[in-house]
Amino acid sequence: MAQNLSVQARSESYQVEMLAGMESLKAMGSEQRAVEHWSGLFVDTLNIALDRGRLAAWVESLTGTLRLASPLIILVVGALLVLGGTLTLGTMLAMSALAAGFLTPLGNLVATASQFQLLGSYLERLDDVFDTEAEQERARVRPAPKLAGQIELEQVSFRYGPVATDAVKDVTLRVQPGQFVALVGRSGSGKSTLASLLVGLYRPTQGRIAFDGGDLRGLEVRSLRSQVGIVTQRPYLFGACVRANIALADPTLSLDAVEGAARTAQVHEDIVAMPMGYETLLSDGGASLSGGQRQRLALARALVRKPAVLVLDEATSALDAITEQQVQAALSQLQCTRVVIAHRLSTVRSADLIVVMDEGRVVEQGTHEALLHRGGYYAHLVAAQLASTTS
């Protein structure tokens, strides 16, 4: 029974995946392979369903036979006993009446037992959910105060699973309110992980994080997250109108506030040019938008709450250099701490603090000039980028 559930889940999730990844499948010409794979999964569910049907049929026919044959047997045996003189006719009739009253419920009981078994496997599934610990115990935390945007990391390490290696290792970092921090490093060096740690999306496996001096462990996460904005590498747009997508955190926000955020994110003009302006429906999860538009919408969504800390994780990577400069210039007017992960030198060089990461560790930190002067990892990175743009 439990097998039935898991096989069904596998087939259905693959089906959803197949539809969502249609573009890639077609581009790779692997529709046929995908269909074959899905057929395999579907046959599995059919086989399990057949097995179940067979079992059900067995149970059904057994109980049916029992129900039909038992009165007959009782009658025959009873009649023989009565004829032999061991039983009176009255007792025999009473017994057959009683047996009928007993056997029908018994048959039903057997049929119900198989349903109980199914219930068992559903309950098992529910257990997985109930056993998951809540992210925080309400009684032991207090709501975060209004944050100024200071963040302190003390020897913070983080790994994604018990057997994984540390994605962030032994990082000590101090970010001042209103500071513009850039995280650089090659892909896989732990930039995104560190950014998520900086806004309290993950709790460190080791070490301590404090916001405005208050330990993360003592702060209620929701009140903290309402004061930080993060634009991830893969922002998700919902099948609602543009306005609802920007005002995701608080649907009661005025159109003015939404527009203001869209202007700062340099996406207002794009939205106004859409067929229905701010009411344009993004029914396809934003597939009708360009990558840059999607990123700027996600940025507007983060800005609309006026966060104390704003994290941009390669959030302007799909923009052209000029628009990216405009966005960064608009953001520098805001009163908030900015943590930006970017590859373009033009974005990184004006940061107050550049943090260079490699294999989860912070290998260098300082301003553009100081790091160039040092001639280390960052200087290498800059030289490589300059070489590739001039050649």
Is residue 316 near ligand ADP by the rule CB under 6 A? no
Alpha helices (runs of H) in the chain, residue ranges in sequence order: 2-20, 22-27, 31-84, 89-131, 191-198, 221-225, 242-246, 255-264, 268-272, 291-303, 321-332, 345-348, 368-374, 377-390
What's the closest the beta carbon of residue 169 comes to ligand ADP, in angstroms? Answer: 11
What's the closest the beta carbon of residue 208 comes to ligand ADP, in angstroms? Answer: 20
Is residue 266 near Mg ion by the rule CB under 5 A? no
Q: Which residues of 59-92 are buried (b: 16+ CB within 10 A; e: fewer)?
A: eeeebeeeeeebeeebeeebeeebeeeebeeeeb
User: Site for ligand ADP (CB under 6 A): which residue of 78, 190, 286, 307?
Assistant: 190
Encoded tokens for 278:
């701010």
188 binds, among ligand ADP, Mg ion, none (CB under 5 to 8 A by kind): ligand ADP
Stretch that binds ligand ADP, among 191-199, 253-261, 284-292, 370-378 (CB under 6 A): 191-199
What's the closest the beta carbon of residue 291 comes to ligand ADP, in angstroms? Answer: 18
**Closest C-alpha to 196, from 247, 141, 162, 156:** 156
Q: How far apart are the first and last CA of the chain?
A: 64
Q: Give the type of residue at 317.
A: S
Encoded tokens for 341:
């992960």
Is residue 192 near Mg ion by the rule CB under 5 A? yes
167 binds, among Mg ion, ligand ADP, none (CB under 5 to 8 A by kind): ligand ADP
Is residue 193 near Mg ion by the rule CB under 5 A? no
User: Site for ligand ADP (CB under 6 A): which residue of 150, 189, 316, 328?
Assistant: 189
What's the closest the beta carbon of residue 234 comes to ligand ADP, in angstroms? Answer: 11
In the three-class reduction of DSSP (H, G, I as helix; E, B as strand; rest coil), residue 232 is classed as: coil
E strand or H helix at 266, and its extent? none
Is residue 189 near Mg ion by the rule CB under 5 A? no
User: Site for ligand ADP (CB under 6 A): which residue of 63, 70, 179, 192?
Assistant: 192
Is residue 188 near ligand ADP by the rule CB under 6 A? yes
Longest dimension (CA), the chain: 117
- Contact positions vs ligand ADP (CB under 6 A): 160, 164, 167, 185, 187-193
- Contact positions vs Mg ion (CB under 5 A): 192
